[in-house]
Amino acid sequence: MDSSSPSPISLPDQKPKKTFVDSLMDSATTPHRTPSFKEDTYHLHNLKPSEKKALQELKDKLTTTSDDDNASMWGIPLLPPTATTEKSDVILLKFLRARDFRVQDSLNMLLKCLSWRKDFGADSIVEEDLGFKELEGLVAYMNGWRVQVLERGIKMLHLRPGGINSIIQVTDLKDMPKRELRVASNHILSLFQDNYPEMVARKIFINVPWYFSMLYSMFSPFLTQRTKSKFVLSKEGNVAETLYKYIRPEDVPVQYGGLSRPSDLNNGPPKPASEFTVKGGEKVNIQIEGIEAGATITWDIVVGGWDLEYSAEYVPIANGSYSIAVEKTRKMGPTEEAVHNSYTAKEAGKLVLSVDNSVSRKRKVASYRYLVRKSGAVM
């Protein structure tokens, strides 16, 4: 594109999207963003007659076979008279769906899960200090930690008809030794499939090494087709593009090509970002206009897998004024995190953020956001 004119960027709808609590990298609560995904309904009026019958049968069988009158999961009683019908129905339907509404198989799975949760202490692990505070929002490998992150994510779910009832789980496999990856993969997948049915909407593996396909072929026969359909594999260099399909960029950590920094948690809900695409051979100019004299503009911008040139320029609107190079043109490396910067304008004008992908043929996803402050006001 001609660098002298603004790029005709078609930005997506900025309607706020809820987020998921991602696990092992970060977990966030949000509806799945791809149009092909539709979370299972938990409204009883949407169930088929056979499914309603199976739900009632499972309730009856659980009542007669359970040794624990106070059986519960995630703080939700499963048996009458203390059972909260709507919430307990959501949990029971998850077990039924995991076993294609085969009642006896669903009951066996449920009883084994209850036993595992009691033996493992899954309900109490949420509040335990496992010594990995520095890994909050990053990457986790230890088994106890993995369960804790899952449990914390599920605690944030609504677990009610029409609510947010599943999470997206992201696992970073970068630099994980082959042997450890084999052991961890078997554990993660069995844990996920056997004890958290339908709690994970998508299981995303990022920075997948070349040998992972061989490991996957070994353990995939032991997984149900429904479980396998939830897997998403992303090779190194393709992380941001994959994550943007499922998670808003303001909720993706900066080390994975997003805009979220740990310090953002202290500032309330993140400001929504705008997404755009940088085609191969293209230069994109983002123009932020209407900036008044004395105003301070703060911005974040990132391109997944950068490997292109970036610059920022302030252009006053007054005749005879000169453009100001706020950030000189520089080559951004493939692993560089999002740019975060600010500028106080002495004159009214506009800020132009430029990303130049003209020497590459690869299409890249990108996002940005900004905030303008003047005299205590925010634009």
In this predicted model, what pLDDT tens digit does every residue of 239-257 receive, in sequence order?
999 999 999 999 999 999 9
| pLDDT number for residue 50 | 97
pLDDT (average), residues 80-84:
71
62 half-sphere exposure, CB direction, 13 A CA radius: 31
pLDDT at 296 over 70: yes
Distance CA 252, CA 261 (A): 9
Closest CA to 352 of 326, 317, 377: 326
Query: For 296, phi and psi rounded to 5 degrees?
Result: -115, 125
Which pair of structure tokens corresponds to residue 131? 């010594």
Entry pTM: 0.79
pLDDT at 162 over 80: yes
| pLDDT number for residue 40 | 73
| pLDDT number for residue 174 | 87
Distance CA 278, CA 355 (A): 8
Distance CA 181, CA 187 (A): 10
pLDDT (average), residues 226-242:
89
User: What is the distance, to the nearest Å, from the Cα of residue 66 to the centroid of all Cα atoms in its chain?
Assistant: 36
| pLDDT number for residue 12 | 31
| pLDDT number for residue 95 | 97
